Amino acid sequence: MGASLSRAKRGRTKGNPVKAVIFGCAGPRLGAAEARFFAATQPFGFILFGRNCADPEQVRALVAACRAAVGRADAPVLIDQEGGRVARLGPPHWRKAPAARVFGELYERNRQAAISAAEANARLIAAELGPLGIDVDCTPVLDVPAKDGHEIIGDRAFATDPATVIALGRAVCAGLAAGGVLPVVKHIPGHGRARADSHHDLPVVEAPLDELRAVDFAPFVGLADAPLAMTAHVLYTALDNERPASTSARVIGDIIRGEIGFQGMLISDDIGMKALSGDFAARTQACLAAGCDVVLHCSGAMAEMIEVATAAGPLGDKAAARYDAARRAVHAASGPIDVAAERARLEALFAAEADA
């Protein structure tokens, strides 16, 4: 992947270490003030939203400008391109991909067809992201939705059966990696029972530990070898009755790193979400102190980013090593993708099942 992050961290860019933060930007073009700020603060990477994406040429230019600002051609650029209602890229320039639930429903009828379709769909997503310079996709969602869970997860989840989620989640990870894109499994250790939207409120899950282990944790255990994961801003009373997972050293240390066994790079969910309390400096410090490798700040609001950058320390050696290992693995797994063939494969799998 070129120069490693560990080298970057030691001061490859004018003596400023890479900070343990991923930032969004305000619009479709990088402003001069944003470029100066990113050059000075050296965020680990960037994340794009619908507000940043108008057409392919514009997105490529924005991605290049972000990387040029920090002086790192390998700075990761993330996006939430799940398919369904969570897709930052869409028609007319990009394909409208199905929601995860579509593959879960197919799995109930034909397991192998569903796995093949999920992988083909992810390959097609990677084939769209790669030419834009986007190399990290925040998917698959491994949450197992409860009947009384909030609709924020809904059809973003594959199924209510953990084994189905594992099989389809692994297929998505493989499809993205085949196209050179790193997957981010989310929302560890599970958002499916939450009865509130963590964008607006702090969800409190009161399920006992044995139920969490049997259902919520299971998909993440099954994909514990995933390269990156995103935390859940959810408070689990059986684990820590004071702090949500993103800011809980017990949840991250004992459950995510320990019991689940996830050893990849751990990214907080957006610290601008209202599930977290305190100012942005406090939120940043709390997530990093609990064990997150990197904090995610999405809004692109400059005043907030200044607070976050002031509070965020340098990217840790372990975090840099985790990311470097992930990049090496995805490069080893990637190769050219025949877009026409993958599209035909996906269409044939759904057509065959419809005719069955």
Torsion region of 108: left, alpha or beta (phi above 0 gives left; psi -120 to 50 gives alpha) = alpha
User: Positive or negative, the Cα torsion across 134, 261, 272, 310?
Assistant: negative
Counting residues of the chain whose pLDDT is more than 90, the rounded percentage is: 88
How many of the other CB atoms lie within 10 Å of CB of 345? Answer: 17
What's residue 8's pLDDT?
41
Written as one letter, the residue type at 236 is Y
How many of the other CB atoms lie within 10 Å of CB of 90? Answer: 13
Give me the residue label for tokens 């479709």: 28
Dist. CA 135–CA 183, nearest whole Å: 9
Residue 13 pLDDT more than 50? Answer: no
The CATH number corresponding to 18-355 among 3.40.120.10, 3.20.20.300, 1.20.1530.20, 3.40.50.12780 equals 3.20.20.300
Residue 71 pLDDT more than 60? Answer: yes
Written as one letter, the residue type at 263 is Q
Residue 7 pLDDT more than 70? Answer: no
Residue 356 pLDDT more than 70? Answer: no
Least confident window among 186-190, 240-244, 274-278, 292-296: 274-278
What's residue 90's pLDDT?
96
Dist. CA 146–CA 37, nearest whole Å: 42
What's residue 288's pLDDT?
98
What's residue 291's pLDDT?
98
CA atoms within 13 A on the CB side of 294: 33
Residue 11 pLDDT more than 80? Answer: no
Written as one letter, the residue type at 11 is G
* Residues 129-183: tens digit of each pLDDT: 999 999 999 999 999 999 887 788 999 999 999 999 999 999 999 999 999 999 9
Q: Are 169 and 142 in contact (CB under 8 A)?
A: yes
* Residues 267-316: tens digit of each pLDDT: 999 999 989 999 999 999 999 999 999 999 999 999 999 999 999 999 99
Residues in the chain: 356
Q: Quote the pTM value.
A: 0.94
Residue 292 sits at φ, ψ, to 5 deg, of: -65, 140
- Catalytic residue ranges: 199, 269
Which segments within 13-167 are labelled E, that is strand? 19-23, 43-48, 77-79, 81-83, 86-87, 136-137
Domain-by-domain residue ranges, the chain?
18-355
Strand pairing category for 81-83 and 136-137:
unpaired
Residue 9 pLDDT more than 90? Answer: no
Residue 94 pLDDT more than 60? Answer: yes
Dist. CA 254–CA 240, nearest whole Å: 11
Judged by DSSP in three states, 237 sits in coil
CA atoms within 13 A on the CB side of 140: 36
Q: Are 260 and 251 in contact (CB under 8 A)?
A: no
DSSP label at 312? -
Average pLDDT of every residue of the chain = 94
How much is the average pLDDT of 242-262?
97
Closest C-alpha among 20, 249, 226, 199 to residue 138: 226
